[in-house]
Amino acid sequence: MSDRFEPVIAVLCCNWCTYAGADLAGTARMKYAPNVRLLRVMCSGRIDPAFVLRAFAEGADGVLIAGCHPGDCHYINGNLKTMRRFPQLKTMLAQFGIEPARVRLEWISASEGDVFVKVANEMTGQVRALGPLNWKVRAAVEPVSGLAEHHAG
Amino acid sequence: MEPRVGVFVCHCGTNIAGVVDVARVAEAARTWANVVHAEDYKFMCSDPGQAMVKQAILRHKIDRVVVAACSPRMHEATFRKACAEAGLNPYLFEMANIREHCSWVHEDKQAATLKAIDIVRMAVAKARLLEPLETRSVKVEPKALVVGGGVAGIQAALNLANAGIKVVMVERQQSIGGRMAQLDKTFPTLDCSACILTPKMVQVAQHPNVTLYTCAEVEEVSGYVGNFDVTIRRKATYVDPDVCTACGICLEKCPKKTTSEFEEGLTTRKAVYRLFPQAVPGKPVVDRESCTYFVNGKCKVCERFCEPKAFRWDDTDKVVHERVGAILVATGYDLYDASALGQWGYGRFPDVITGIEFERLNNATGPTGGRILKKDGTEPKSVAILHCVGSRDRNYKEYCSRVCCMYSLKFAHLLREKTAATVWNFYIDMRCFGKGYEEFYNRLLHEGVKFVRGKAAYVTDQPANDDEKGRLVVSAEATTLGEVLRVPVDMVILASAVTPQPDAPAVARRFGMSLSPDGFFMEKHPKLEPFSTATDGVYLAGACQGPKDIPDAVAHGAAAASTAMALISRGEVEVEAATAQVTEGACSGCKVCQDICPYAAIGFDGPKKVATINPSLCKGCGTCVATCPSSAIVGRHFTDQQVLAQISALFAG
């Protein structure tokens, strides 16, 4: 293996569209960068911004949030809530000094295995170019981690 | 008490073990907190594999199980059941997907193994915090909805109705019958389509267990498996079917003609009409769009001749509510608009027609009374049939439409039988896969039909020599000869692609289905469950799932019916156990969650000033959980603690 930086990208995704889309990429034996790790919730509407903060605080170099296309949500409109939350999350992350390219929202349906592959590769490349986030080293980690702990109750 | 986690790593033959070092994954798992047992095995989902899990649960007093194998969409149910059989609550199981999300998508063995270890570590972190959940059952409404009255829907409805299940059938058009009703002969047996279909149409309409709504559409669907609430709009027909005797005098007397959709625009029908002579139901309806009375305010000629006085000019749309346990979607297919395929001349040259138009030309009840005629009324001396028009073509539809080869052969046979014409078939491959199909092809090879292996590039009326003057010229590369042919003919039949219905995306949304990349409805599993969808209780029948010939559509309809029957005869179904729950002490009563819930499952306890969640309505999406500003809602099975533990575990390597 070379000394090339290998980022870790946490993928927070819904069960019905994006998780199934990633399954389809697998069934079709498409190949993509091994840097992404999927974490499944039932609906992208379940994705609490605290999850994203926790991921960055613990060592993620990038976070992908992914769900069904608007209008196709398995739970009618949970993804629209995600869509509304995302700009606020992005603004907050920017205030923390996290580059915008490190967090991304994508709609990937159950039939879009190829889109999943494309996004996984693209994001791996972009985050690799940015270099490690090193949140634990770079910033005062306590407030962020503390917030997440508080939220976890 | 500390949780005792057992980890089981599957090889899946070489599917996983060929890329991921499974022994190393199990070894890593043994070093993690609370993991009391870890092993790997060739096929965890097999009987011995499941037995292994069950024995280990008992032997090592395991109370949390992690299986690292395929997607939970594949085998979560299998292993939950195995856990339950060993006396463990099925929700104390977590699946780690190291096949679809790892071994199948990565080639670097080292990187894939490290990723698999991360995936399993995340699953173990969640498993430690899993809590038992109670599965609840609800009664299944012993009634099914069939959407679409083509042959697939008819077969499904009949099977259900014959099993004693009440069926509501909704058909958009005036009559059931669908595409099959438009066909003349059917391949390869050449039996008449109407002769085999119309008895089934009558049977379904007269069945005591079937309620048939024609000129109707499903507007809204709510609820869940076993208990769907369906809103159906029955369009105003302006004829009282209980009074009408279907004598047909109004069809004769109506002075207004409009394009006949059933005859593919080759002829006209009246403004008061039935779709075709053998329509079921046979009572005519008024087409408001073209009726002179509705357009100009006067006419009502039909009414003057109607003896039983069946016309109701003040008729309005009626909205019907039905509660059903299962829904069968059988909305069929459409055909590629040939006028969008300019190179083959449809729309420019009158004697370039589509396959479905040819079906009508050849039909005794069709516009020419069954005679195969050009637009000028003469018989063609030579006819070209072009296969794969819009199919197997990356510019249009990449897939094979599956029926065109066979109906093209059928057309060739009928042309040879009824006319003296020379018949040319331009094809890419001859796909004759069904029972008796190859035999039919062999028969045609001896009927003097000319076969050119090569897709027609274009059809032109520009002659290159005297022989081509005033005729249509088909240009194609004959790949077996290695030369470009120009064949002058009098008529061209386009085997245009089978396509999804234009409103398939909207229909998919209404019933909670997805679309495949080809635009047809997506099945739950392409091989093992081609008749189910990702939404429990919603099934697929016929060509709405993908192009199908009649035998396949009928078989698909019957399969969907039997699956729905299994659900209905079981009588009850387990519903989502992983619902949201309010922690009363933490709730501030702000009611933000009430607006957020897509199912109106959240109520408010006035005296206590706290939100309440109705577990029967909650689907467990967790949107309220992420929204609650006080973290007062627990999304069971996906709690904040569980998800955050997974995230932390991802970086604990």
Average pLDDT, chain A: 90
Report which of residues A108 and A149 the model is more confident about.
Answer: A108
Q: Please indicate, yes or no, if residue A133 is contained in any of the structural domains.
A: yes
The predicted structure's pLDDT at residue A62: 98
Average pLDDT, chain B: 96
The predicted structure's pLDDT at residue A2: 65
What pLDDT, in 10s, does the model give residues B451-480?
Answer: 999 999 999 999 999 999 999 999 999 999
Residue B154 to residue B178: CA distance in whole angstroms: 10
The predicted structure's pLDDT at residue A139: 61
Contact residues for B123 (Cβ-Cβ < 8 A; gap 6+): B66, B68, B94, B95, B96, B646
| Among the ranges given (A53-67, B199-213, B606-620), the one the predictor scored with the smallest mean pLDDT | B606-620
Position A86, amino acid: F
Alpha helices in B283-332 (DSSP H): 292-296, 301-305
The predicted structure's pLDDT at residue A136: 79
Q: From the list B101, B535, B626, which residue is nearest A26 (CB)?
A: B101
- The structure tokens listed for B260 are 């006949």
Q: What is the mean pLDDT of residues B408-417?
A: 97
Burial class of residue A137 in the structure, from the number of CB atoms within 10 Å of its CB (0-12 exposed, 13-18 middle, 19+ buried) = exposed
Q: Please indicate, yes or no, if residue A2 is contained in any of the structural domains.
A: no
Closest Cα in chain A to B517? A111
Q: What is the mean pLDDT of residues A120-148?
A: 78
Whether B419 shows a pLDDT value over 80: the answer reads yes
Nearest chain B CA: its distance from A74 CA (Å): 6
Instruction: Give the 3-state secondary structure of residue B461.
Output: coil
Confidence label for B261 from pLDDT (cuts 50, 70 and 90): very high
Task: Give one word for B342, left, alpha or beta, with left for phi > 0 and alpha for psi -120 to 50.
Answer: alpha
Closest Cα in chain A to B509? A72
Residue B343 to residue B428: CA distance in whole angstroms: 17
Beta carbons of B650 and A10 less than 8 Å apart: yes
Whether A153 shows a pLDDT value over 50: the answer reads no
What pLDDT, in 10s, does the model give residues B295-337?
Answer: 999 999 999 999 999 999 999 999 999 999 999 999 999 999 9
Q: What is the DSSP string of A62-79?
A: EEEEEEPPTT--TTSSHH
**Residue closest to B37 by CA, chosen among B52, B48, B47:** B52
Give the global pTM: 0.84
CA dihedral sign of residues B501, B505, B507, B511: positive
| Start-to-end CA span in chain B (Å) | 26
From the options 1.20.1070, 3.40.1400, 3.10.450, 3.40.50, give the CATH code of B5-134.
3.40.50
The CATH code belonging to domain B334-499 is 3.50.50.60
Nearest chain A CA: its distance from B616 CA (Å): 15
Q: Is A70 on the interface with B (CB under 8 A)?
A: no
- Would you report the helix, strand and coil content of chain B in percent, each value rounded to 5? 30, 25, 45
Confidence label for B1 from pLDDT (cuts 50, 70 and 90): confident
State phi, psi for B335 to the nearest 5 degrees.
Answer: -120, 145
Q: Strand pairing partners for B227?
A: B224
Q: Is A84 on the interface with B (CB under 8 A)?
A: no
Alpha helices in chain A (DSSP H): 18-27, 49-58, 78-95, 113-130, 135-138, 141-152
The predicted structure's pLDDT at residue A140: 57
Q: What is the mean pLDDT of residues B100-109?
A: 97
- The structure tokens listed for B444 are 């045609």
Q: From the list A46, A71, A151, which residue is nearest B635 (CB)?
A: A46
Closest Cα in chain A to B620? A42
Q: What is the mean pLDDT of residues B562-576?
A: 94
HEC sequence for B572-627: EEEECCCCEEECHHHCCCCCHHHHHCCCCCEEEECCCCEEEECCCCCCCCCHHHHH
What pLDDT, in 10s, does the model give residues A51-84?
Answer: 999 999 999 999 999 999 998 888 889 999 999 9
What is the extent of the structural domain holding A123? 9-152
Q: Where are chain B's structural domains?
A: 5-134, 249-305, 334-499, 580-635
Domain count, chain A: 1
Chain A positions touching B638 (Cβ under 8 A) are 41-42, 46
Report which of residues A9 and A1 the model is more confident about.
Answer: A9
Residue B432 to residue B406: CA distance in whole angstroms: 7
Asked whether the ipTM of the predicted complex exceeds the cut of 0.90, the reply is yes
Beta carbons of A23 and B509 less than 8 Å apart: no
Chain B positions touching A59 (Cβ under 8 A) are 651
Beta carbons of B517 and A111 less than 8 Å apart: yes
Give the CATH number, domain containing residue A32: 3.40.50
CA dihedral of residues A68, A69, A73, A74 (deg, nearest 10): -50
Whether B565 shows a pLDDT value over 70: the answer reads yes
Q: Is B402 on the interface with A (CB under 8 A)?
A: no
Residue B462 to residue B43: CA distance in whole angstroms: 65
Whether A145 shows a pLDDT value over 70: the answer reads no
What pLDDT, in 10s, does the model give residues B139-197?
Answer: 999 999 999 999 999 999 999 999 999 999 999 999 999 999 999 999 999 999 999 99
Whether B424 shows a pLDDT value over 50: the answer reads yes
Beta carbons of A45 and B73 less than 8 Å apart: no
What pLDDT, in 10s, does the model give residues B12-28?
Answer: 999 999 999 999 999 99
Question: Going by CATH, does the domain composed of B580-635 fall within 3.30.300.130?
Answer: no
Percentage above 90 pLDDT, chain B: 94
State phi, psi for B31 to the nearest 5 degrees.
Answer: -90, -5
**CA distances in angstroms from B187 to B184, B361, B553, listed in the order given:** 10, 17, 14
The predicted structure's pLDDT at residue B364: 93
Instruction: Confirm if B123 and B94 have CB atoms less than 8 A apart.
Output: yes
Instruction: Confirm if B89 and B16 have CB atoms less than 8 A apart.
Output: no
Whether A142 shows a pLDDT value over 60: the answer reads no
Beta carbons of A111 and B522 less than 8 Å apart: yes
What pLDDT, in 10s, does the model give residues B278-296?
Answer: 999 999 999 999 999 999 9
Task: Give one word for B219, left, alpha or beta, with left for phi > 0 and alpha for psi -120 to 50.
Answer: alpha
The predicted structure's pLDDT at residue A148: 47
Instruction: Confirm if A82 and A122 have CB atoms less than 8 A apart.
Output: no
Angle made by CA atoms A108, A124, B652, in degrees to the nearest 5: 100
Residue recorded with tokens 């033959």 = B13
Q: Is A122 on the interface with B (CB under 8 A)?
A: no
Rg (CA), chain B: 31
The predicted structure's pLDDT at residue B653: 82
Nearest chain A CA: its distance from B112 CA (Å): 7
Q: Please indicate, yes or no, if residue A1 is contained in any of the structural domains.
A: no
The predicted structure's pLDDT at residue B617: 82
Report which of residues A147 and B377 the model is more confident about.
Answer: B377
Q: Please indicate, yes or no, if residue A4 is contained in any of the structural domains.
A: no
Beta carbons of B647 and A22 less than 8 Å apart: no
